[in-house]
Amino acid sequence: MEILELVAILSCTVFAGAAIYINAAEHPARLECGTELAATVFGPSYHRAAAMQASLAVVATITGVAVQLNGGSLLWLVGALLIFLVIPFTFIGIMPTNKQLLDPGRDRGSEQTLDLLRKWGRLHAVRSVLSSLAAILYVYGAVST
């Protein structure tokens, strides 16, 4: 049980930390470099982060549910639901913006591209909030038992 808790907390907090870093440092820094450069580096950054964050979200969800099913409090299930929600939110809420930003025919220096990049940052902040709340619940669930 302790190993499941550790894996759940670790995967969830790493996800949350990466998401917060993207919102607090990486994406604002991209935008400071100008729209064209920001749009150019968005693709490689997105592709690298997607694989890492998707696997972390899945592991955090599965282990959080496993902890709850093995006698953990309801906090684990709520935390698992919160971290799980980043997955459908990514596909439904963020993916349309990603596809527009990654379109090879996009004018990377346009005002529309800048608007999309700003929108992406706001949408990604939802992932930061959901994963942070899940991480808090996981840690609280572990220390309150």
Q: Quick one: residue 73, left, alpha or beta (phi over 0 = left, psi -120 to 50 = alpha)?
A: beta
How sure is the predictor about 90, in pLDDT bands with cuts at 50, 70 and 90? very high
Question: CA 74 to CA 140: how far, in whole Å?
Answer: 11
pLDDT at 143: 93
Instruction: Assess contact for 37 and 30: CB atoms under 8 A.
Output: yes
Q: Is 44 a residue whose pLDDT tops 80? A: yes
Alpha-helical (H) ranges within the chain are 2-21, 27-32, 35-69, 74-89, 95-102, 111-143
pTM of the model: 0.93
**CA of residue 94 relative to chain centroid, distance:** 11
DSSP letter at 25 equals I
Domain boundaries, the chain: 2-143
Structure tokens at 66: 């496993």
Model confidence at 1, pLDDT cuts 50, 70, 90, reads confident
What's the confidence (pLDDT) of residue 145? 72
pLDDT of residue 29: 96
